[in-house]
Amino acid sequence: MKKIIYILLLFQLPLLAQKLNVQVSTTKPTLGVPFEILFSMNASPQDFTPPSFKEFEIIAGPNQSQNIQFINGSMSQSYSISYVLIPKKEGNITIQAAKVIINNQTIYSSSVTLEVQKGGGNNNYSAQQKNPGQPSSVNVEKEDIFVRTTINKKQCYIGEQVTLTQKIYTKVELRGVQNVKFPHLEGFWSKNQENNNNNIQLHIENIDGVNYYVGAISSQYLFPQKSGKISIPPIEMDCVIRKRTNRPPRDIFEQFFGVNAYEDKVVSLKSQAINIIVDNLPANQQADNFTGAVGTNFSFRVEINKSKVPANEAINLKISISGNGNLPLIGSPKINFPIEFETYDPKITENISTTNGVSGTKFFEYLIIPRKEGVYQLSDIAFSYFNLNTKSYTHITAPDISIEVSPPLHNNNNTAQIYQQFKQEIKNEDTDIHFIKTYPYPIYKKNDHFFNSPIHLTLMLAPYFLMLGLLGYYQYQKKEKANLSEFLQKRAHKIALKHLQIAEKKMKENNSAEFYTAIIQAIENYLTYKFKIQKSELSKDKIKESFIKKQIPEELQNKYFDVIHTCELAKYAPINTQYSFQNIYSDTKNLIIELENKIKNA
């Protein structure tokens, strides 16, 4: 009897495997809040037709994944297709069946009925995002996912380059990284590595016999500015992971095939603080021309644009320092110019690369004006740096430069020339007769008085006029604020620009989550106040209707929906986004300005 049942089960196995399952992250989503729907099957489909999502906005998908396992010589596979949706209206909404063709057989999934809530509903997806500490059927161990802060050396000199890397290690599916708090690096000057972006590229590493997916969150080059023991604080972040739940199977098919639901969970991670020992540079070997350069393979070059000039004509002296090390921190070389030369502080430019450590060239351009004829020598122009290869100072001296100054082309006895020619004498005789000032001075009548003059009376009455003006302005503001909706409608443009200032600040901090939140708030608050729409009623149809009433051009309407779609897509899929912060910020600012101009001119 058992053999017969086993044979029948083998015949039924292909039919059972060809079932299309559908799962949603929550059956009670909130209006405007994303949730996920997943279609899974145990064979690769020939064709898949999703249901109509006309009542939803698709912000991600279709996302396809395939999993193949070999257990005791037997192969099992699963195939899934998922979408991330946002409900457009509240109430009961039914998602009809999806259709898939497997082995030339057409299979349909079951329909799903959702109860879309207006707000504050009990939906699992958003609750897990906001309350990561709530009870969950997903168990996450410390070895499943963690973050590490590493440095390439634990002892160095002041000014020596140290590479700081923040990496995340995971054995589970990583869905996103948010709320990243980078450590405050006190005692270091830092430079970010080039090609850092919002995407985390994962690769496989074997740690103690266990394979992990590893991704670099950031890489920085640090240059210690003080000696002693310096601590590098840990990095903190929240990671959204997806893992199979430990709930019991809901039906015989899940029990037979082991197809359990997946659940997203927010895990808070924190690395370990690390210490670094910083040694002082040897003081007994330092030369007078040492300006803080520490590194390797430094070169030093001095150039002058002309060696023969008439007096009072400018000369450009250019010094370039190239190498690997703390180039941005190198000070200006010390040059002893002749007293007959008028000089200025150098213009400093850099051509720095951080692709593989900090390297490049730093330029110092001096403007020199010789004021007296003669032949001058610029000697002892040198550069010293601490060579990390030899652990000693390297001294580089440039060849002497000869400058021949001929008499001036225009022999005018201006005061600047006299001053430069006899600089020392004038300094010593500062109490002698000064040059006559020839420019005109105002002449006043002897009997003119300020007291009781028109200017005096005007200044006396000015505070009273100012008080009356302030009182009138206060009454005007009070009247304007009496009707709050009218007041907010007039100030909608300024309120939106304040949110954009917050977005600009978060953009500079590379905080993507709060950047996109500020962008969306700027646009939504502008429409809420300008069109007097309640935030709970802020939908695509309502905004479209308001645009038509205000005679907003269709091109500008499409630009608004494109910006909103771009922000929401980037916000809820932070790993895969390829949008530029600056482009999104500029498009949003231009959109609000264009809407304001169209409404005013309508």
CATH number at residue 521: 1.20.120
CB 232 within 8 A of CB 275: yes
Structurally, the chain folds into a number of domains equal to 4
One domain, residues 187 and 265:
yes
CA distance 259 to 40: 8
Q: In this structure, is residue 420 part of a structural domain? A: no
Structure tokens at 293: 């350069």
Q: Which range marks the domain in which residue 502 is found?
A: 485-601
CB 103 within 8 A of CB 78: no
Q: Quick check: helix, strand or coil at residue 125?
A: helix
Pairing of strands 262-270, 228-232: unpaired
The H-assigned helical ranges of 58-167 are 124-130
One domain, residues 153 and 265:
yes
What CATH number corresponds to the domain at position 93?
Answer: 2.60.40.740
**CA nearest to 503, candidates 423, 583, 574:** 583
One domain, residues 297 and 238:
no
Q: Quick check: helix, strand or coil at residue 130?
A: helix
> Residue 254: CB partners within 8 Å, gap ≥ 6?
21, 260
One domain, residues 119 and 167:
no
What does 541-592 look like in DSSP terms, one character per residue? HHHHHHHHHTT--HHHHHHHHHHHHHHHHHHH-TTT----HHHHHHHHHHHH
CA distance 20 to 314: 82
One domain, residues 150 and 270:
yes
Helices (H) and strands (E) in the chain, counts: 12, 30
- The residues that bridge with 35 in the sheet, in sequence order, are 85
Pairing of strands 382-387, 290-304: parallel
Structure tokens at 153: 């050396």
From residue 228, alpha-carbon distances to 276, 291, 513 in Å are: 8, 21, 37
Structure tokens at 322: 């190239």
What CATH number corresponds to the domain at position 291?
Answer: 2.60.40
Last residue of a domain, one of 278, 295, 326: 278
- The residues that bridge with 215 in the sheet, in sequence order, are 168, 202
Query: Which residue is listed with tokens 């600089």?
Result: 423
One domain, residues 379 and 490:
no
Last residue of a domain, one of 378, 406, 434: 406
CA distance 88 to 585: 26
One domain, residues 260 and 336:
no
CB 145 within 8 A of CB 239: yes
- The torsion of the CA quartet 488, 493, 497, 500, rounded to 10 degrees, works out to 90
pLDDT of residue 387: 92
One domain, residues 233 and 292:
no
From residue 305, alpha-carbon distances to 266, 316, 398 in Å are: 62, 6, 16
Structure tokens at 201: 């590229």
Q: Quick check: helix, strand or coil at residue 485?
A: helix
DSSP state of 443: -
Structure tokens at 589: 């600012």
Last residue of a domain, one of 130, 164, 198: 130
Please tell me the pTM assigned to this model.
0.47
Q: Quick check: helix, strand or coil at residue 460?
A: helix
Residues in the chain: 602
CB 294 within 8 A of CB 326: yes
- The residues that bridge with 117 in the sheet, in sequence order, are 30
**CA nearest to 30, candidates 110, 85, 97, 83:** 85
pLDDT of residue 447: 57
Between CA 99 and CA 106, with CA 102 as vertex, the angle to 5 degrees is 45
One domain, residues 289 and 387:
yes
One domain, residues 164 and 256:
yes
Give average pLDDT by consecutive 10-residue segment, the chain, 602 residues. Answer: 44 53 85 83 80 82 62 59 85 88 84 81 40 54 87 92 92 82 87 66 81 87 92 90 69 52 80 92 83 92 91 91 92 88 90 88 92 90 91 90 88 47 45 58 62 81 88 75 64 80 84 81 80 73 80 81 77 55 82 80 68
CA distance 268 to 237: 6
Give the other-Cβ count within 10 Å of 66's Cβ.
Answer: 9
**CA nearest to 218, candidates 564, 582, 534, 509:** 509
Strand-by-strand arrangement of the 105-108 sheet: 47-49, 99-102, 105-108
> Residue 142: CB partners within 8 Å, gap ≥ 6?
none
At 519, which helix (H) or strand (E)?
Answer: helix 512-531
pLDDT of residue 122: 39
Structure tokens at 37: 């729907």
From residue 563, alpha-carbon distances to 516, 522, 559 in Å are: 11, 12, 6
pLDDT of residue 120: 47
CA distance 157 to 309: 45
One domain, residues 267 and 340:
no
Structure tokens at 556: 């500008």
One domain, residues 287 and 392:
yes
